[in-house]
Structure 1
Amino acid sequence: MTTLRPAGTPARSAASPLLDVLAAGIEVFDLGRPLTVGMPQSPNHPAYWHSLPRRHGDMVRSDGGSAANDMISMGTHVGTHIDALAHVSHEGKLFGDVSAAGALSGGRYAELGAHTIDPMVCRGVLLDVPAALGSPAGLDAGYEITRADLETTVEVQGTRPVAGDVVLVRSGWGRRFDEGAPYVGGESGVPGVGEDGARWIAEHEVRATGADTIAFERLAPGAGHSVLPAHRVLLVENGIYIVEALDLEELAAARQHEFLFVLSSLALYGATGSPVRPLAVVSRG
């Protein structure tokens, strides 16, 4: 979290509400995970790898200067990332009744790829489900977040999503990210939104939704990614983007349930997803 107070900003300015906000100070909550070799991920995607093909001293300039450079390789659904609408199909169709086979041209999804995801600067709502249900540490493995759970959370917090918002759902499972395999939850399952919960989200006509888990939705114990009905409801039926592997703990601890949400995906032409570093911005004072 970062607090920003620009030097020389006037204490008050009736002509500029933005300057008023900056003068009072803002806090920026970083909701993205650091990309590290060996971090937990879905087994369906290529792992993150980072290397230094040139290190300091490999080449030294005449003035003594030296530079290092990097090479990375990874799947687009590794670490904190957003699913493009090209990511999931159902019965051969993508969002908007687009043919999945026909949409692929030259190995790229020109129509619904990651490059078509516009930057997001909008209202964000955190639904802290375990806190609302009386278990702030987190939900149990394999727990399904239902429509009733989401409605209860809205009532407890007083923060109902509206059209155009981004809704982030905390399960508390994100606390296990640094544990590696337990976070993936292959045997235990992972808590998350179920099919009817996804329909509740879609009914609010949000722009995107996200969670602190590996696959957004509930994974049954031992089932892995065998069925993903919430992905179908959100991506295919409603055109709602999904952000996964978010870090929501600091935001939840600060009880910040409404904020300015900022996200921009990489313009990876025709890709099915993109790494992202979402931010929650909150004014103070």
Structure 2
Amino acid sequence: MEKPVEDPQHDGRGVLYPASLPSFHRLPPPDAVAHLVRWFWIPEWDLAPGRSSRQHVISFPASNLVVEPGFVALAGPTTRASHRDLAGRGWAVGALLRPAAVRLVTDAPGAVRDDYLRLDLPDLHAPVVAAMISDQPREDRRDRAVAAFAGWLAARGPSLASTDEAALLANAMTDLIDSDPEVVRVEQVAEHLGVSVRTVQRLAVQYVGLSPAAMIRRRRLQEAVELLRRAPDTDLSTVAADLGYADQAHLAGDFRSVLGFTPSAYRSQHRERSTDS
């Protein structure tokens, strides 16, 4: 299965309150590492003294490798929404890893679930930091940082031709779950890939760190958030039906278990934040 063509800069999924974002860019990976990275993301902020900005995220079901000014970290797959408080001046350069890249940084992605683990990777940290603190214009700095990050991955990771079949199948599984709204059950994933349900479950555990059912739920929640943001007056029962939920109660249950609030509460909060921005 081919990787779907996407425009990361215009994919707003994952961010709960875009109006409160600092400067934020998603950049496509170079072809040489497209089997390892879905996209690179770069936030930059410069807040007045005493001010802070809380960023709420419902992450994609994947791991992220992140370079910050002082360290490199692996953000493992998450089971719930998360947030980070920004203050002062700063930046980060992250790579949303595809399953084929996860083994470069951990043999057990499930072990870093909901964790932010610092890694000793000076050969990645140094060139990315050098790019981000250079005197070049912002766009050039971002491009150079992505090139340095991609170069590290290309040197450390396997080429597409040498990537093992299981890793590529895990990539295909993730692409399918994320891109096909008709896929709402693990059995459908197995059927599309021509493998058993047990194989799908094994791939998800070994290369993602979440169950395939959790991955499907995450996509549907991200889509629900997008729908509520783009069309806030849409009836919640219609949103639930459009996303394949049995009823509105099931949608609300997923919201509460992952986000900690109901769809109605999210809609209200989004309106308030958009008005205040």
Q: Tell me which protein shows more helix as a share of its residues.
A: 2
Q: Rg larger in 1 or in 2?
A: 1
Greater RCO, 1 or 2 (C-alpha within 8 Å, sep 6+)? 1
Q: Tell me which protein shows more strand as a share of its residues.
A: 1
The TM-score with structure 1 as length reference comes to: 0.22
